[in-house]
């Protein structure tokens, strides 16, 4: 018979945050005591649907359904990730896997009795508040959910059916939050904050979409987001605020040094943001002709283009990464800039050219 989890001992901590953190440890213990199949689900969810999946999976999939919705998913996702990095820098959120050792509230004997486990996805190196796994998808998926809701509303008057997209969105974010608590990457209040901040940001940004055909706008966005983040980091350092404190704690308390992934560092997130904005600029500079857009109304071409985009992005992001930090950051910028350019401009043209070569009778007449 499986023994129940040992709950951290009752005590009065030095402050309200310690009590909140201690309650989070209890929540993680409860989740980790669950059945093995549920453990596999939590680990799979948090490892396969991290913020990077917004760029490599959700964006090309949404773009295949509706080009403008896909672009909004990417746009809101990159803004949300930039804001998440800045909030993490200045909210100084702890992570459970190091807090339990650093807090001083538990003796070594008590720590040895607590059946808490780390996983390969546990050792995030940035601060913990708010949860990026909840905030970034919560923001980026908002335009996709509202578009699906509008599509369902055009097909039925049933209120229950119209609620299905938002219900799925909510269940996904709740499950993501639980998975982050399970692997000791976040406390419950951090995932709740991430969900609320992401949903609010998605709702707000959807109301003021940019013109996705303006090249200079996205170049300016890339420059402003990177320079502003660097300026904030420099000002904080000059003021004596150590924004890299979490890197040292992650290195000290991660069970396996191989689990410390460089792509979880805050500057890797900023490079994803900058690369994606530059990719949107490249896509804006090479827009499809109206004739090509009309051909993509063919469902077969859209499906083919979407499948090819998903495969291409998986291939691009599986290429070997350099170990040097500076080279890694350049690598991230280039690869994430390639994504929007491929999805919006290159691959649709390739699919259209291939179809026109194989089926010349389907080529529409040229019109001025």
- What positions carry a catalytic annotation? 133, 186
- Is 95 annotated for ligand binding? yes
The tokens of 124 are what? Answer: 């995030």
The tokens of 24 are what? Answer: 């989070």
Q: Any residues with CB less than 8 A from the CB of 1 and at least 6 apart, and which?
A: none
Distance CA 215, CA 281 (A): 5
Q: Any residues with CB less than 8 A from the CB of 28 and at least 6 apart, and which?
A: 96, 116, 181, 182, 184
- Is 289 annotated for ligand binding? no
Q: Any residues with CB less than 8 A from the CB of 351 and at least 6 apart, and which?
A: 301, 304, 305, 308
Helices 36-48, 159-182: inter-axial angle, 10-degree rounding: 100
CA angle 244/249/252 to nearest 5° reads 135
348: enclosing H helix or E strand: helix 347-358
The sign of the dihedral angle between the CA atoms of 259, 264, 265, 271 is positive
Query: Assign residue 367 a region: left if phi > 0, alpha if psi is -120 to 50, beta otherwise?
Result: beta
Instruction: Indicate the annotated binding residues.
Output: 95, 180
Q: Which residues are annotated as a binding site for substrate?
A: 95, 180
């Amino acid at each position: 018979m499986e023994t129940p989890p040992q709950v951290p001992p009752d005590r009065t901590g030095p402050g309200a945050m310690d009590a909140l953190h201690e309650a989070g440890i209890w929540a993680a213990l409860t989740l980790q005591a669950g059945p093995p199949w549920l453990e596999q689900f939590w680990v799979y969810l948090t490892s396969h649907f991290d913020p990077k999946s917004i760029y490599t999976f959700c964006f090309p999939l949404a773009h295949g359904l509706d080009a403008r919705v896909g672009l909004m998913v990417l746009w809101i996702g990159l803004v949300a990730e930039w804001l998440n990095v800045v909030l993490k820098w200045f909210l100084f959120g702890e992570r459970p896997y190091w807090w339990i050792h650093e807090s001083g509230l538990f003796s070594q004997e008590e720590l040895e009795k607590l059946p808490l486990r780390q996983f390969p996805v546990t050792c995030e190196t940035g601060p913990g508040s708010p949860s990026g796994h909840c905030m970034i998808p919560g923001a980026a998926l908002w335009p996709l959910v509202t578009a699906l809701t509008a599509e369902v509303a055009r097909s039925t008057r049933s209120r229950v059916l119209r609620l299905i997209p938002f219900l799925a969105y909510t269940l996904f974010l709740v499950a993501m939050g639980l998975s982050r608590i399970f692997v000791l990457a976040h406390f419950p209040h951090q995932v709740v904050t991430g969900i609320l901040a992401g949903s609010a940001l998605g709702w707000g940004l959807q109301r003021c979409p940019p013109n996705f055909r303006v090249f200079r706008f996205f170049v300016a966005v890339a420059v402003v987001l990177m320079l502003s983040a660097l300026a904030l980091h420099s000002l904080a350092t000059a003021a004596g605020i150590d924004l890299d404190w979490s890197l040292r704690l992650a290195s000290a308390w991660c069970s396996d040094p191989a689990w410390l992934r460089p792509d979880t560092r805050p500057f890797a997130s900023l490079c994803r943001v900058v690369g994606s904005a530059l990719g949107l600029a490249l896509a804006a500079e090479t827009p499809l002709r109206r004739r090509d857009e009309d051909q993509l109304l063919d469902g077969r071409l859209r499906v083919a283009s979407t499948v090819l985009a998903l495969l291409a992005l998986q291939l691009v992001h599986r290429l070997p990464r350099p170990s040097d930090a500076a080279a890694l950051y350049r690598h991230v910028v280039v690869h994430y800039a390639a994504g929007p350019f491929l999805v919006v401009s290159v691959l649709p043209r390739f699919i259209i050219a291939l179809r026109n070569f194989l089926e010349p009778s389907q080529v529409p007449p040229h019109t001025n």
